[in-house]
Structures are given as structure tokens and as C-alpha cells.
């Protein structure tokens, strides 16, 4: 029975970076300007490995386990947008390679836009995937329920894969396998999520905070990407966001739900490269 989760010793390009504020686990490959990836709630850096592989000929691609997630530090508190954004800023400063392009999905999108608004000197641009202001309370209630339900003990990797396939019905099998392999660790009796349950509960609550000031204030280029079938970001929420910032370009990915970069990696890749090249 394969009980192993990813660890820094068995994964190429995996390392821990002490930013002086927090120790973050990252996956890094490629060379060129910095392109940093930030995952959604309960997830981890591994979900971006397929995209990183396609972009590492042009960029130094680095996917980050955000605080409370994966193999990064899991403090008891500090899970509001500004806490995550300050982590991003401290990482970019520690890397000392100049301003970075940020790609964030969901929680990672919120954190990336917040970082760009707070620290414009450290950010070149942002690709914000399926998280905007004006998300309806019902959608956030459903998200919080899913997050809290994920703290389970699983017998083995196959049980994890079966659970994830039910939770993310549109996510392809290979992407489910990445999540199952990278997001869990062996404990007595089976596997548990690497993401800290108290951290996830605090983070889910923090997602309810008003994001309109960050979107109003951000001066750096931001591409907004929404999955056409997203249950988190409604068409109405996107429309209100576009009224708030009509200057920000929008891509709606046909047939994709909330998990755009895993469900539609080719379109996501094209959206990222077109935006950066423009």
C-alpha cells in the first residue's frame, strides 16, 4: 500500500524558503522572470505542476504551499487576506529577483490581487482565476461546508482519489491523482490532509471579507479568469466586478467550473501567455 505523501526529499525542485516571516514550501523549475503560483483553499503547490512544465522554458516558475497548507508552516492564527499577501511580499523580497508575475486560483487569486494592491513595487501583474468581489453568501456557505468536510481519515490513496473524484467531478483523473498524492500524509490508521483543519476553518471565514477595496486600489495589470460553470463566481459577481474595474480584461473559459486550471489547462495556459505577451 502506497501511504507516502510528497516530501521535500523525494520531489525534485521542492525546497523550503525561510522568508524571515514564515517558512514556505515551494516547487521551482525553469529560468527567466519570476512567475509565482498560488493555489486554492485546502490545495497545495502540486496542482500547478502541469502548467509549470509548459511555462518553465520562459520563466522561473515557482508554486507555493501557502500558510496552513501543504508542507509550509501552519501558525495557529493569521489567515486573513493581508496575512497571506504579506507572505507573498516577504517571499518575493527573499527571492530578490525583482517584481514577479502572480498566478492565483481561488484563495490564491484573492491573495495575489491583495498583494498587488498592497505591494505594487513587488508585483508585475496578476492572473486571478475564479475569485472576485461580490461572491454570494450562499456560495461561500457551500465552500465552507466542503472545506470542513474534507478533514477525514482515509484508508489509502485509492480512498482519497475516490473522495476527491466525488468532490471535484469535472477535474480530470490525472489532476485528481496529483491532489491525492501531494495533499495527504500518513498517520496512524491511514492518511489525513496536510492542510491544517483550524487553518482551513479560519481561511474559509476570511474569504468572506470585502475584496472590493483591493480591486479598486490595484494599479498593476490584472487578468480575471472565470469558469463558465463556476458555482463560486457567478456571472452576476463577474459583471459587478467588471463595473467596478471596467479596465481589467476578462476571460470566461467555456465548459470549466471553478477549478479552471485543472479542468481546462490548455485554455488557462493560452490565457496566461496571451495576457503576459500583451
Comparing CA positions, the residue from 253, 258, 251, 255 lying closest to residue 231 is 258
% of the chain surpassing 90 pLDDT: 94
69 catalytic? Reply is no
Residue 259 near residue 171, CB atoms below 8 Å: yes
- pLDDT at residue 150, as a whole number: 85
Residue 241 near residue 218, CB atoms below 8 Å: no
258 catalytic? Reply is yes
Please report which confidence band the pLDDT of residue 13 belongs to, taking 50, 70 and 90 as the band edges: confident
Regarding the domain delimited by 14-277, which CATH topology (the fold level of the hierarchy) does it fall under? Answer: Rossmann fold (3.40.50)
Convert 156-186 into a string of H (helix), E (strand) and C (coil): CHHHHHHHHHHHCCCCCHHHHHHHHHHCEEE
Of 45, 72, 106, 230, the active-site residue reads 106
Look at residue 10 and tell me whether its pLDDT is greater than 60: no
Distance from CA of residue 201 to its chain's centroid?
A: 16
Look at residue 207 and tell me whether its pLDDT is greater than 60: yes
- pLDDT at residue 180, as a whole number: 97
- pLDDT tens figures, 18-72: 999 999 999 999 999 999 999 999 999 999 999 999 999 999 999 999 999 999 9
Please report which confidence band the pLDDT of residue 1 belongs to, taking 50, 70 and 90 as the band edges: very low
Please report which confidence band the pLDDT of residue 189 belongs to, taking 50, 70 and 90 as the band edges: very high
Rounded CA separation 48/53 (Å): 9
Rounded CA separation 230/257 (Å): 4
Look at residue 3 and tell me whether its pLDDT is greater than 70: no
Rounded CA separation 110/95 (Å): 22
User: What are the residue ranges spanned by the domains of the chain?
Assistant: 14-277
Of 56, 86, 258, 264, the active-site residue reads 258
130 catalytic? Reply is yes
Of 6, 73, 86, 130, the active-site residue reads 130
Q: Is residue 110 packed enough to be buried (19+ CB in 10 Å), middle (13-18) or exposed (0-12)?
A: buried
Angle between helices 197-206 and 137-149 (to 10 degrees): 180
Q: For 6, phi and psi rounded to 5 degrees?
A: -60, 140
Amino acid at each position: 500500500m502506497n501511504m507516502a505523501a510528497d516530501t521535500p526529499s523525494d520531489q525534485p525542485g521542492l525546497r523550503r524558503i525561510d522568508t524571515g516571516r514564515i517558512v514556505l514550501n515551494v516547487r521551482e523549475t525553469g529560468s527567466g522572470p519570476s512567475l509565482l503560483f498560488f493555489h486554492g483553499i485546502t490545495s497545495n503547490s502540486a496542482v500547478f505542476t502541469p502548467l509549470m512544465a509548459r511555462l518553465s522554458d520562459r520563466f522561473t516558475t515557482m508554486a507555493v504551499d501557502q500558510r496552513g497548507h501543504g508542507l509550509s508552516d501552519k501558525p495557529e492564527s493569521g489567515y486573513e487576506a493581508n496575512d497571506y499577501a504579506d507572505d507573498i511580499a516577504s517571499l518575493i523580497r527573499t527571492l530578490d529577483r525583482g517584481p514577479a508575475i502572480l498566478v492565483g486560483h481561488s484563495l490564491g487569486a484573492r491573495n495575489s490581487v491583495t498583494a498587488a494592491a498592497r505591494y505594487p513595487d513587488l508585483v508585475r501583474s496578476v492572473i486571478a482565476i475564479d475569485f472576485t468581489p461580490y461572491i454570494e453568501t450562499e456560495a461561500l456557505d457551500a465552500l465552507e461546508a466542503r472545506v470542513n468536510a474534507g478533514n477525514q481519515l482515509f484508508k489509502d490513496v485509492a480512498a482519497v482519489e475516490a473522495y476527491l473524484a466525488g468532490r471535484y467531478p469535472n477535474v480530470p483523473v490525472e489532476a485528481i491523482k496529483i491532489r491525492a498524492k501531494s495533499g495527504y500524509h500518513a498517520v496512524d490508521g491511514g492518511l489525513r490532509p496536510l492542510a491544517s483543519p483550524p487553518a482551513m476553518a479560519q481561511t474559509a471565514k476570511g474569504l468572506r471579507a470585502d475584496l472590493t477595496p483591493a480591486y479598486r486600489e490595484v494599479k498593476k495589470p490584472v487578468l480575471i479568469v472565470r469558469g463558465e460553470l463556476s458555482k463560486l463566481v457567478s456571472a452576476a459577481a463577474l459583471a459587478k466586478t467588471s463595473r467596478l474595474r471596467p479596465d481589467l480584461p476578462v476571460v470566461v473559459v467555456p465548459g470549466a467550473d471553478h477549478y479552471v486550471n485543472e479542468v481546462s489547462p490548455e485554455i488557462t495556459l493560452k490565457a496566461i501567455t496571451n495576457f503576459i505577451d500583451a
